[in-house]
Chain A
Amino acid sequence: MKTRTTIAIFGGLVILAGCSRPKANPAPQATAHGTGLVEVSGGKQIAQAGRQLDQPVVVQVNDAQNNAVAGAAVVFRGPAGVSFNPASGPTDSSGQLSTTVTLGGVAGRYAIRATTTDTGGKSIELKLEEIALGYQQTLGRELNHQYCSRCHDPESTRERVSNYDNLTTKPHAFTEGDTLNKMSDADLMAIISHGGPALNKSPEMPPFGYTLSKSDIHAVISYIRAVADPPFHSAGVVYAKD
């Protein structure tokens, strides 16, 4: 009975996560082994829950001299609902393996692990973190693109020039968890609604309380919380369970 129930709970989780249970992937035959595993790109990406990340996750296997190792076997694993394509494989001639990642259907942070083994068969693990946005955070992200990011994002893109450098008081990027995590939801609500002077800060931050609705501002706050780095702990960060 107990096993059946456990299976049922697990099945329910998997279905709710909206993805098929990742097939257990046997480690591919390794023709070489490294001593280190590093991230090349693809960590800390933000995507909507249940969707594929924009950029692939790329990891590299290195030997003791930090030279890339080709043909080392790498396996990707993640919590229920996360799927990889491919889920495992040998590294290419530049010592790298690239995989496209689809996140689970529940908003939160997803810890993704890449593993390889050294010559002695010892497992080497690399942990990456990806962020899945729910409905409210997605709405917040859209509002951020429209109203906030021009000043709060120091990076310019082709579509959007950043105003960051023109400001006397530099705004905080929304990923600056060190600062923003210390502000309560009520403080964020106040500064977004009534502008910088509400918290004795710069008037360069204008009030948005007469432009955005209260639920819009809640959405922006939920987005700020979702992308904070280090993660925001209100009641403990929500990791999807293994």
Chain B
Amino acid sequence: MSPGEQIGSLRRKLFGDPARAFGSISLVLLVMLAISPAKNFFSEWRHYQKGYLKLVRTRADALTLQRHFSPGFQQIWLPEMGAVDRCTTCHVALKETSLSDVGAQPYRPHPPIPHSLTQFGCVVCHIGQGAATTVEEAHNSTKAWEQPMLPARYLESSCGQCHLGPLPGTPQLNLGRQLIARYGCVRCHTVMQPDGTRMMATDDPPSLEHIAEKTTREWIYAWIKNPQAYAVTASMPNFQLTDDDARDVSAFLMEQSRPLPAIHTQAAGKAGPASPDATAGASLYGESFCASCHAVQNAAGALVGGDLGPELTRIGSKAKPEWLEAWLRDPSRYDPDTKMPHYRFDPKNIATLAGFLEAKTDSDLLADVHLSEATPAQVQRGKALVAEYGCASCHEINGIKKPENFAPELSRVGSRSLAVLAFPEGVPHTLPDYIDAKVRNPRAFGPGLKMPQYTFTEQQRSAITTSLLALTDRAQTQPPALRTAAVHESNYRPAGKAGRLMRDLRCFSCHAINGRGGDMAPDLSWEGSSVQRPWLVEFLKNPETLRPALIRRMPRFNLTPDEINTLTDYMMVVYQTPTVDRDSMPVSSFTPDLVEQGRQLFYSKYACQSCHIVDPKKDKGYIGPALWSVGARLNGAWVYAYLKDPQSMRPGTLEPNQHLSDGEARSLTAFLMAQKSARQAAKK
């Protein structure tokens, strides 16, 4: 039979007469009607639900698990958050902690988090298409859905949508936010936080209005070509300027600089020539605790010192000697907003320290920099470049205004549509990858872009991406009740003579008081309730560390007795907590019996010697402050209040609350207040 005949015979068999035709068409109709239920029956989610029932059948708690299971479509609907999540249709065991040994998805229980899954749903944190019912559509991006699920490494960004301040469980998010502020990203990019405040930078780029007083054109040239060649810790990014660009920008910066006579007024002649005595310089550098804030690279290449001030490894190649001396005499004359305190150095010390610092040079740094006299055309071009690269976003520069909205606003960057983004080759088409690539190598996104090159590590970059992804539409539009606010720094300024003195000494660079200031040193808001006046006077004369395990960081400022009196009077009166009555626990009220009782508690019941030293011969613990002279340092009422609840007196302190009874706290206070000096302790 030929193929034509075959078809003909088949047609006759099926549609030969009306009855056959009716039967065949009905059959076709039935099959077609069955397609939809069949699709439903064989759907992925049903498959997973069946798989789950099979999985739990053999388990010890099978009955409980089966009772918890509800078949069919599941949905979490949260209108106020705009979430319709059907994820729990397949992820059926999210709340079954007994299945924690199950490795295969979609049956893993959700790891413990502080939120209820029913209240927050899934996509609020994980992104993805919540309403979808297939694996592909729910997890990945499709033609109709841009945002795939958030990779686990960026998951903390979701916490940041509501939690505007740091959280203990989200180190990446916290680090990213710190970096964005620390590296001045927000000086060019506006970031409005969901609570309506603007994210502020925490870096301190110097004013360039008097730059010629401070350094040379050659150094500026080398610096702007590659800031990290001068200091590995430099926070200024690399603008990848050409030699010509750097020549012209340095020419313009020198040209716009105005003289600053104020820094020379007391200077000339008094200080004498810089002293070459390196030993004296090094010990003065150490005694003045410069290393608390400034780092220097040692011979092994490791950085030694703090990061509050600029690195000083090659300072001699940068600073002019006369500027350095003027700066050491009083930094605020050159930079009124500097974080550096005004040390009361005498002229001899200034010469010694300046000489020591001037010797920190690097002959390679400026070896290849040969600049001829700048022409007016170069200066003009330099000015144009400075304006073009937005240098004035960070630095004050004569003749150039701080640009407004210099770079794209990032307040909602976490919801940016992929359709409007141009991806360079090799970058996967997702938002996290886009942001990460942008931070890694901004100039790869096309010629003519101005964003400079940073030197972040992979970990830092991913932290920055995490914190940027938190800036979503949802964060901006959700009900304010869902937000937990960040603590913003107060604008507390102490008044009067003491206030001026505290500003001159830059106490707030390291200490916080009443919600403003640094975190390097203890909070002083309640210092007046806590310490005894004679101790504070001695401490300011000659600070010593209270914690044997800590490096002392508080410098001696060479204060006059008058200045010390002003400061202590002010602190003792003003920095008081209303919860401690200084006179409520006089030492005279402590009997020897009470002291002995306290000793027992200290050594036996509470083993305080694990962390504190009362008897320097016997006790070894050095994590907490040494207590051999605590009776001469602290106020009794404060000690009592502190023992009762350490965290309320010093938030974040390591000392655990021992839940002492009133009597125990009183005995311990009596024992501690009896510790007057190390000599007394040694005598026992």
Q: Name the contact of A16 in the complex, choosing from B112, B139, B462 (C-beta under 8 A).
A: B139
Q: Are B113 and A135 in contact (CB under 8 A)?
A: yes
Q: Name the contact of B654 in the complex, choosing from A15, A20, A147, A165 (C-beta under 8 A).
A: A147
For A147, give the chain B residue with the smallest CB separation.
B654
- A138-B171, A163-B610 known; A9 and B153 CB under 8 Å? no
- A161-B622, A166-B621 known; A48 and B103 CB under 8 Å? no
The answer for the CA separation of A38 and B104 in the assembled complex, in Å, is 31
Q: Name the contact of B607 in the complex, choosing from A11, A19, A104, A202 (C-beta under 8 A).
A: A202
Q: Are A161 and B47 in contact (CB under 8 A)?
A: no
Q: Are A136 and B605 in contact (CB under 8 A)?
A: no
Give A97-117 as 1s and 0s: 1 = Cβ < 8 Å from B's Cβ atoms: 000101011111000000000
Q: Name the contact of B168 in the complex, choosing from A18, A20, A54, A143 (C-beta under 8 A).
A: A143
The answer for the CA separation of A9 and B155 in the assembled complex, in Å, is 22
Q: Name the contact of A134 in the complex, choosing from B111, B139, B154, B459 (C-beta under 8 A).
A: B111
For B113, give the chain A residue with the smallest CB separation.
A135
Q: Are A15 and B152 in contact (CB under 8 A)?
A: no
Cβ of B101 under 8 Å from chain A: yes
Which of B73-81, B311-319, B562-570, B655-663 touches A?
A: B655-663
Q: Are B611 and A48 in contact (CB under 8 A)?
A: no
Contacts of B622 in A (CB 8 A): 161, 163, 166
Cβ of B12 under 8 Å from chain A: no
Distance (whole angstroms) from the CB of B168 to the closest CB of chain A: 5
Q: Name the contact of B172 in the complex, choosing from A12, A48, A146, A150 (C-beta under 8 A).
A: A48
For A100, give the chain B residue with the smallest CB separation.
B458
Give B600-612 as 1s and 0s: 1 = Cβ < 8 Å from A's Cβ atoms: 0000111100110
- A138-B171, A163-B611, A204-B610 known; A12 and B106 CB under 8 Å? yes
Contacts of A202 in B (CB 8 A): 607
Q: Are A105 and B112 in contact (CB under 8 A)?
A: no
- A50-B153, A105-B151 known; A11 and B135 CB under 8 Å? yes
- A5-B47, A218-B112 known; A18 and B623 CB under 8 Å? no
For B44, give the chain A residue with the smallest CB separation.
A8
Distance (whole angstroms) from the CB of A84 to the closest CB of chain B: 14
**How many B residues have CB within 8 A of the partner chain?**
55
Q: Are B610 and A166 in contact (CB under 8 A)?
A: yes
Contacts of A108 in B (CB 8 A): 103
Distance (whole angstroms) from the CB of A170 to the closest CB of chain B: 11
The answer for the CA separation of A150 and B653 in the assembled complex, in Å, is 13
Cβ of B3 under 8 Å from chain A: no
- A16-B139, A142-B171, A150-B623 known; A235 and B656 CB under 8 Å? no
For A20, give the chain B residue with the smallest CB separation.
B428
The answer for the CA separation of A139 and B173 in the assembled complex, in Å, is 13
- Chain A interface residue count: which class? 35 or more
Distance (whole angstroms) from the CB of A231 to the closest CB of chain B: 12
- A1-B42, A210-B659 known; A163 and B152 CB under 8 Å? no
Q: Are B605 and A51 in contact (CB under 8 A)?
A: no
Contacts of A13 in B (CB 8 A): 104-105
Cβ of A131 under 8 Å from chain B: no
The answer for the CA separation of A49 and B172 in the assembled complex, in Å, is 12
A129-160 at interface with B (beta carbon < 8 Å): 134-136, 138-139, 142-143, 146-147, 150-151
Contacts of A50 in B (CB 8 A): 151-155
Contacts of A167 in B (CB 8 A): 610, 621
Give A222-242 as 1s and 0s: 1 = Cβ < 8 Å from B's Cβ atoms: 100000000000111111110
Cβ of B620 under 8 Å from chain A: yes
Distance (whole angstroms) from the CB of B643 to the closest CB of chain A: 12
Contacts of B170 in A (CB 8 A): 138
The answer for the CA separation of A211 and B153 in the assembled complex, in Å, is 30
- A12-B106, A150-B623, A235-B101 known; A18 and B113 CB under 8 Å? no
B636-661 at interface with A (beta carbon < 8 Å): 646-647, 652, 654, 656-659
- A12-B106, A52-B459 known; A211 and B168 CB under 8 Å? no
Contacts of A86 in B (CB 8 A): none
For A142, give the chain B residue with the smallest CB separation.
B168
Contacts of A136 in B (CB 8 A): 111-113, 169
Cβ of B321 under 8 Å from chain A: no
Contacts of B659 in A (CB 8 A): 207, 209-210
Cβ of A191 under 8 Å from chain B: no
Q: Are A138 and B621 in contact (CB under 8 A)?
A: no
Q: Are B101 and A163 in contact (CB under 8 A)?
A: no
Cβ of B247 under 8 Å from chain A: no
Q: Are A151 and B610 in contact (CB under 8 A)?
A: yes
Contacts of A134 in B (CB 8 A): 111
Distance (whole angstroms) from the CB of B73 to the closest CB of chain A: 18
Cβ of A206 under 8 Å from chain B: yes
The answer for the CA separation of A239 and B98 in the assembled complex, in Å, is 16
Q: Are A15 and B647 in contact (CB under 8 A)?
A: no
Contacts of B656 in A (CB 8 A): 147, 206-208, 210-211
Give B119-161 as 1s and 0s: 1 = Cβ < 8 Å from A's Cβ atoms: 0000000000000000110011000000011111111000000
For A16, give the chain B residue with the smallest CB separation.
B105
| Residue among B135, B170, B606 with the highest chain A CB neighbour number at 10 A | B135
Distance (whole angstroms) from the CB of A197 to the closest CB of chain B: 8
The answer for the CA separation of A233 and B157 in the assembled complex, in Å, is 32
Cβ of B18 under 8 Å from chain A: no
The answer for the CA separation of A215 and B654 in the assembled complex, in Å, is 18
Cβ of A203 under 8 Å from chain B: yes
Q: Are A15 and B153 in contact (CB under 8 A)?
A: no
Cβ of B342 under 8 Å from chain A: no
The answer for the CA separation of A18 and B135 in the assembled complex, in Å, is 14
Cβ of A72 under 8 Å from chain B: no
Cβ of B339 under 8 Å from chain A: no
Contacts of B371 in A (CB 8 A): none
Contacts of A104 in B (CB 8 A): 152
For B150, give the chain A residue with the smallest CB separation.
A18
Contacts of B605 in A (CB 8 A): 203
Cβ of B114 under 8 Å from chain A: yes
Q: Are B101 and A238 in contact (CB under 8 A)?
A: yes
Q: Are B604 and A203 in contact (CB under 8 A)?
A: yes
Q: Name the contact of B152 in the complex, choosing from A1, A49, A100, A151 (C-beta under 8 A).
A: A49
Q: Are A222 and B151 in contact (CB under 8 A)?
A: no
The answer for the CA separation of A234 and B108 in the assembled complex, in Å, is 16
Distance (whole angstroms) from the CB of A171 to the closest CB of chain B: 10
Cβ of B70 under 8 Å from chain A: no
Q: Name the contact of A18 in the complex, choosing from B98, B152, B604 (C-beta under 8 A).
A: B152
Cβ of B377 under 8 Å from chain A: no
Q: Are A203 and B606 in contact (CB under 8 A)?
A: yes
Cβ of A17 under 8 Å from chain B: yes
Contacts of B171 in A (CB 8 A): 48, 138, 142
Q: Are B169 and A241 in contact (CB under 8 A)?
A: no
Distance (whole angstroms) from the CB of B60 to the closest CB of chain A: 10
7 pairs, CB–CB < 8 Å, chain A vs chain B = A49-B152, A100-B458, A106-B152, A136-B112, A165-B620, A166-B610, A206-B607
Across chains A and B, which 5 residue pairs bring their CB atoms closest together, nearest first?
Answer: A105-B152, A50-B152, A18-B151, A139-B169, A18-B152
With A138-B170, A163-B623 already in contact, 17 other A-B pairs whose C-beta atoms are closer than 8 Å: A5-B47, A12-B105, A15-B148, A18-B151, A20-B428, A49-B153, A50-B154, A105-B155, A135-B112, A135-B113, A142-B168, A146-B652, A150-B623, A166-B622, A204-B610, A210-B657, A238-B100
